[in-house]
Amino acid sequence: MNIVVQKFGGTSVASQELRDKIADKIIETKLSGKKPVVVVSAIGRKGDSYATDTLINFANSIFSERCSRELDLIMSCGEIISSVIMANTIKSKGYDAVAMTGFQAGIITDENFGNACVKRVDPKNIIENLKEDKIVVVTGFQGITENGDITTLGRGGSDTTAVILGEALKADVVEIYTDVDGVMTADPRLVPDANVIDCLSYDEVYQMATDGAKVIHPKAVEIAERSNITLKIKNTFTDSDGTTIKKSEYTFSNICSKTLFTAIAYKNDIVQVNIEIDSDDEKNKLLLDGLEKNKISIDMINFFEERKVFTIEEKDLTILKSILDFYNLKYKLTTNCSKVTAIGHRIHGVPGVMAKIVKILSNENIKILQTSDSNTTISCLITRDNLEKAVRALHYELLNK
């Protein structure tokens, strides 16, 4: 059916002026002979009347004890409002449109409120409306359980909605619209001369998203890869070509000629945890079980015979400390850390790469607290006050020279 899924984030739909521009972009897509299916996030960001965080704070102001089912119900309202307003904006321009909830779009999830996984999608309702020549506007971030409870899909849920619908509808492409011209070689707020990357593999953009780049959620990239869906990251407000994300087409010859590094990403609010514990101590298993039970994700893991070193996000620090204190473990915490990551296709094992990164940071008098690597990344843990200097130095030495 020549379907294109177009997702617009909260800042893109924050005012009527912006919604008019988006509507024009959607109508332009329709006039080109394609059938647009639009996915929208809640209007605005934290503090705005209909933003998700505002709705959460409203619910918590009345009853502070977390009730996941009801919280998902109120969180879903932001996207419902956005979809109705967007559909009506399109209608005001003379084109038929219909707003749909996640349930009406056929998105069925498990019962993990707040971070539900999609079990299946039945897009027949969307297809019927497309056949009637309507533009379909779907609420992002939400689905419904087999028992009829509304669920939300967790952080980045609207990206997930867009790609999961693209998969179900066998869309030609999924376009993720944001406020930048595409995926960039570094955060332009830290590196003013960062460039837009024309094309990326799923692996590269997944690592970028995992390591701090906020252009698309990693879960959405995973879904796109499994179905070989082409993604495009584009600017809502310009006609930039953006960044295309698809299956890697690298060959041995063009890997050798391609710049080794693709981008520099970073994450703040990281805590390094250093625990003195023997591997054969029964508390070792209890500690790991406690981390799993409390859903504390650990990263940059280095386990030694008599010591365990890893990182966590700062938001999990209070719970972690209660676990460590409960088992009377001896530990050291280093707070106010940042993880800076150099990303490139298959850099793992290339002679001299780690040494080069260490030298760059050393020349800037930046102490490395810990490192980790994968086939496409080399990460260094540093103190937060050195982040901007580190990102700029790595970007200049690894991508600009």
Is position 84 annotated in a ligand binding site?
no
Q: How far is CA 337 from the centre of its chain?
A: 21
Strand arrangement of the beta sheet that strand 150-152 belongs to: 118-121, 107-109, 142-144, 150-152
7 is annotated as contributing to ligand binding: yes
Identify the three-state secondary structure at position 277: coil
SS (H, E, C) 54-120: HHHHHHHHHCCCCCHHHHHHHHHHHHHHHHHHHHHHHHHCCCCEEEECCCCCCEEECCCCCCCCEEE
**Residue 226 assigned ligand-binding role:** no
**Rounded to the nearest 10 degrees, how much is the dihedral formed by the CA atoms of 92, 182, 165, 34?**
50
CA 5 – CA 95 distance, rounded (Å): 17
Contacts of 372 (CB under 8 A, 6+ apart): 299, 300, 301, 302, 378, 379
136 assigned ligand-binding residue: no
Largest CA distance in the chain: 71
C-beta separation of 369 from 272 below 8 A: yes
Q: Is 63 annotated as a binding residue?
A: no
Residue 389 labeled ligand binder: no
106 known ligand binder:
no
Q: What are the start-end ranges of the H helices in 170-229? A: 202-210, 218-227
Is 178 marked within a binding site? yes
CA 143, CA 153: separation in Å to the nearest integer? 7
Is 79 annotated in a binding site? The answer is yes
Q: Is 8 assigned to a binding site?
A: yes
Could you tell me which residues come within 8 angstroms of residue 359 by beta carbon, excluding any fewer than 6 positions away? Answer: none
- Encode 48-80: b = buried (16+ Cβ within 10 Å), e = exposed: bebbbebbbeebeeeeeeeeeeebbbbbbbbbb
236 is in an annotated binding site: no
Binding site listing for substrate: 52, 79
Binding site listing for ATP: 7-10, 178-179, 189, 214-215
Binding site listing: 7-10, 52, 79, 178-179, 189, 214-215
